[in-house]
């Protein structure tokens, strides 16, 4: 029998509080710019963002005696602290009972294609140090009585490399890293939004030199915008992904990330066409992914129309009750939408069915107090009448119980506790949900140290484009930790010199932009820009994408950026300065993504990963119990595209796209202790060409 978990333990793993007091950085000087007084902060390394990846970088930099400063929009807030799924998986280097080998793990990480082989291997090897580092500072990773970490199978993971502290795993990661940062005396600038990346030098000598930021606490009569200058020898972009790009999104609100910031500075990005979409709670309620045991408990999924009539809509798609229920279960470890799983009555047909119901104006619910209703003419749901893999999972976890809520409570009581904490009792009422954008697999192009195309600028976490078309569940958390550690090692070894420029003209240019946007009669309103971007992205670049409509979407996105360049974004109050800059960058990121998608399609690209490219020339179509879904005929993936990445760069006022071959791993058999030790001792291992 399973051990009952006391309520106090459930609450402690759900109500995860962050440190209240951190070391507040103080400006070292004031810069006089056209009558304004701008505070100036100086550091050896500047980390943008205080999520799990950014904090890992800051902690590791501080341990290496680098003068590090963390600037964050909101202290210990963002996707890693505020979002997740039923267990919030942390990917590990080991499989159940057997251990693992790094080449096998690297193969799994990059199995979907479009991922550099050396990056996959670095994430595999680095997972050990990243994992143990978290454990050593107090992350409560579960163990058995022999000391082995408990593991389970997650999406794109066939051997069980996943582990978890519950739904709040990533928040617990932020908590223990934040506590470590406090112990080490890492200084912070809170309520700071980086709005302009600063550089100095030209051509090959161009390098990062800090950021201009809007800081809430810096606002004064002689600095109404709160503009600050953060000068630094190196910059680590760790502010997450562009969560505001899509209307249908599971990101917490105000997650803008740093993709647009980097693109604006001419930094290369890769794999912008690759995402994760999946079912989750609506953003205006409590945004959360409904993966893992939420669906492995097999709740009844239904829709309600405008007249209040209930529809057992999945029964129109699957042939038998057993097939329907088993595929709801498989959404647990096949949570991200994948075009190929819409075929052959696979698990992503669930997502397509939900999409159709939503397009019809219906609201979709999960009911944990009812089992799936039967397909017409078939037998009712029965726990003993499930596919073998499903039944064995439930049996092994002693969850062959009568109702979904009982199965969920047995397998993961924390999943129930989490929603209760946010005012929704799954045992008492159905849960409304939909398909949402959840993660960017692409982002800023980096090498195996997290170094971008701009010298001295690094990108880690979701800001970095280290993932390919797919990734095992939790691999993103692992990647953020591995590259947080690696960029710190690289920065400490590189010994970058301090920037020499005072950046007066850069500050003056931004101040003049604010002044113009405050008075320009044709300036676009922030809400108009937001609505246009999010509607276009969700309707033209979502997981269901009409290939023929992408060129028009590109043209519209380009036109929006031209209007912004000409008229600006209206500032009705100084408090809107940061949002104005962020929406400029979102508009730029939106165009970049659409241009990459248009190029991918023009080069013969097909449906892969999260996106199905629908076309009249499509060669396959999803099948349902009632027949073929001809409206969703789509183009199959071109396997050759798995061996390359599309690199996007903003140059001379327009985006260029170039197909780049994947970086190989190299011959590991040539590495030997005596031969390679000197490279470590002399720091030669850090001199990788980009």
Task: Give the β-pairing of 192-200 and 443-444.
Answer: unpaired
Tell me the pLDDT tens digit for each residue of 273-310: 999 999 999 777 788 889 889 999 999 999 999 999 99
pLDDT at residue 84 greater than cutoff 70: no
Structure-block tokens of residue 179? 């506590």
pLDDT at residue 247 greater than cutoff 50: yes
pLDDT at residue 690 greater than cutoff 50: no
Residue 231 has a pLDDT of 97
Confidence of residue 226 (pLDDT cuts 50, 70, 90): very high
Residue 81 has a pLDDT of 61
CB 450 within 8 A of CB 479: no
pLDDT at residue 620 greater than cutoff 90: yes
Tell me the pLDDT tens digit for each residue of 506-522: 999 999 999 999 988 89
Mean pLDDT to the nearest integer, 636-642 = 95
Mean pLDDT to the nearest integer, 589-594 = 98
Protein fold of 521-643: Methane Monooxygenase Hydroxylase; Chain G, domain 1 (1.20.58)
pLDDT at residue 593 greater than cutoff 90: yes
pLDDT at residue 155 greater than cutoff 80: no
Domains of the chain, by residue range, sit at 22-274+441-494, 278-437, 521-643
Tell me the pLDDT tens digit for each residue of 255-270: 899 999 999 999 999 9
Mean pLDDT of the chain: 92
Residue 5 has a pLDDT of 79
Residues 6+ apart with CB under 8 A from 586: 242, 244, 245, 256, 260, 529, 530, 533
pLDDT above 70: percentage of residues in the chain: 96
Protein fold of 22-274+441-494: FAD/NAD(P)-binding domain (3.50.50)
CA distances in angstroms from 619 to 265, 589, 630, listed in the order given: 40, 31, 11
pLDDT at residue 218 greater than cutoff 80: yes
Mean pLDDT to the nearest integer, 409-420 = 91
When mean pLDDT is compared across 77-86, 200-209, 595-604, the lowest value belongs to 77-86
Residue 193 has a pLDDT of 97
Nearest to 120 by CA among 603, 611, 668, 648: 668
Provide the CA 213 distance to its chain's centre, in angstroms: 23
Residue written as tokens 């199978």? 153
Residue 519 has a pLDDT of 86
**What are the b/e assignments for 427-439, b being 16+ CB within 10 Å?**
eeebbebbbbbbb
Tell me the pLDDT tens digit for each residue of 96-150: 677 778 888 899 899 899 999 999 999 999 999 998 999 999 999 888 898 888 8
Residue 383 has a pLDDT of 96
What is the Cα–Cα distance from 198 to 237, expressed in whole angstroms? Answer: 13
| Helices 117-136 & 475-494 angle (0-180, nearest 10) | 90
Confidence of residue 688 (pLDDT cuts 50, 70, 90): low
DSSP string of 251-313? Answer: SPTT---SHHHHHHTT--EE-TT-EEEEEEE-TTS---B--THHHHT--EEEEE-TT--EE-G
pLDDT at residue 602 greater than cutoff 80: yes
Mean pLDDT to the nearest integer, 139-164 = 82
Model pTM score: 0.94
Mean pLDDT to the nearest integer, 48-58 = 96
Confidence of residue 83 (pLDDT cuts 50, 70, 90): low
């Amino acid at each position: 029998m399973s051990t009952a978990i006391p309520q106090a333990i459930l609450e402690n793993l759900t109500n995860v509080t962050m440190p209240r007091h951190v070391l507040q950085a103080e400006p070292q000087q004031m810069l006089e710019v056209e009558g304004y007084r701008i505070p100036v902060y100086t550091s050896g390394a500047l980390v943008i963002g205080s999520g799990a990846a950014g904090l890992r970088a800051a902690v590791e930099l501080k341990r290496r005696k680098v003068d590090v400063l963390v600037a964050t929009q909101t202290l210990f807030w963002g996707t890693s602290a505020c979002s997740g799924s039923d267990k919030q998986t942390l990917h590990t280097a080991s499989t159940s009972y057997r251990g693992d080998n790094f080449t096998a793990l690297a193969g799994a990480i990059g199995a979907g294609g479009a991922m550099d082989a050396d990056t996959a291997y670095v994430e595999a090897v680095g997972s050990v140090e990243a994992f143990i580092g978290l454990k050593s500072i107090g992350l409560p990773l579960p163990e058995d009585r022999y000391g082995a970490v408990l593991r389970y199978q997650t999406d794109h993971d066939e051997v069980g490399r996943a582990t978890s502290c519950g739904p709040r795993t990533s928040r617990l990661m932020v908590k223990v890293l934040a506590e470590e940062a406090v112990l080490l005396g890492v200084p912070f600038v809170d309520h700071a939004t980086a709005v302009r990346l600063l550089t100095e030098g030209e051509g090959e000598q161009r390098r990062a030199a800090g950021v201009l930021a809007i800081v809430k606490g810096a606002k004064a009569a002689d600095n109404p915008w709160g503009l600050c200058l953060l000068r630094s020898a190196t910059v680590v972009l760790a502010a997450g992904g562009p969560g505001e790009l899509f209307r249908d999104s599971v990101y917490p609100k105000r997650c803008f990330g740093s993709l647009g910031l980097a693109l604006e500075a001419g930094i290369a990005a890769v794999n912008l066409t690759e995402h994760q979409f999946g079912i989750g709670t609506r953003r205006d309620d409590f945004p959360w992914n409904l993966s893992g045991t939420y669906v492995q408990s097999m709740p009844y999924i239904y829709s309600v129309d405008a007249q209040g009539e209930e529809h057992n809509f999945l029964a129109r798609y699957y042939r038998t009750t057993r097939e329907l229920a088993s595929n709801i279960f498989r959404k647990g470890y096949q949570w991200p939408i994948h075009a190929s799983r819409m075929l052959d009555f696979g698990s992503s047909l669930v997502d397509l069915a939900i999409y159709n119901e939503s397009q019809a104006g219906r609201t979709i619910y999960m009911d944990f107090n009812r089992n799936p209703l039967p397909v017409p003419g078939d037998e009712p749901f029965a726990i003993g009448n499930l596919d073998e893999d499903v039944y064995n999972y439930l049996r092994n976890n002693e969850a062959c119980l009568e109702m979904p809520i009982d199965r969920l409570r047995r397998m993961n009581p924390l999943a129930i506790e989490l929603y209760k904490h946010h005012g929704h009792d799954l045992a008492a009422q159905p849960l409304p949900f939909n398909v949402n954008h959840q993660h960017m697999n692409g982002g800023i192009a980096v090498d195996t140290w997290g170094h971008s195309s701009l010298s001295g600028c690094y990108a880690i976490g979701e800001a970095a484009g280290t993932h390919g078309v797919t990734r095992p569940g939790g691999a993103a958390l692992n990647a953020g930790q591995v590259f947080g550690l690696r960029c710190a090692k690289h920065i400490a070894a590189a010994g970058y010199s301090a920037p020499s420029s005072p950046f007066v003209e850069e500050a003056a240019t931004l101040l003049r932009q604010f002044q113009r946007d405050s008075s320009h009669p044709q300036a676009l309103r922030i809400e108009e820009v937001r609505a246009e971007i999010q509607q276009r992205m969700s309707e033209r670049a979502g997981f269901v994408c009409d290939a023929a409509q992408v060129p028009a979407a590109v043209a519209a996105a380009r036109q929006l950026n031209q209007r912004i360049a000409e008229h600006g974004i209206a500032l009705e109050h100084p408090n809107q300065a940061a949002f104005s800059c962020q929406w400029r960058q979102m508009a730029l990121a939106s165009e970049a993504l659409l241009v990459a998608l248009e190029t991918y399609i023009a080069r013969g690209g097909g449906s892969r990963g999260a996106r199905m490219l629908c076309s009249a020339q499509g060669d396959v179509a999803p099948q349902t119990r009632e027949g073929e879904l001809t409206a969703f005929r789509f183009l199959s993936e071109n396997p050759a595209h798995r061996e390359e990445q599309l690199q996007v760069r903003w140059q001379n006022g327009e985006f260029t796209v170039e197909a780049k071959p994947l970086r190989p791993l190299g011959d590991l058999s040539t590495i030997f202790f005596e031969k390679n030790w000197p490279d470590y001792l002399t720091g030669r291992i850090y001199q990788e060409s980009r």
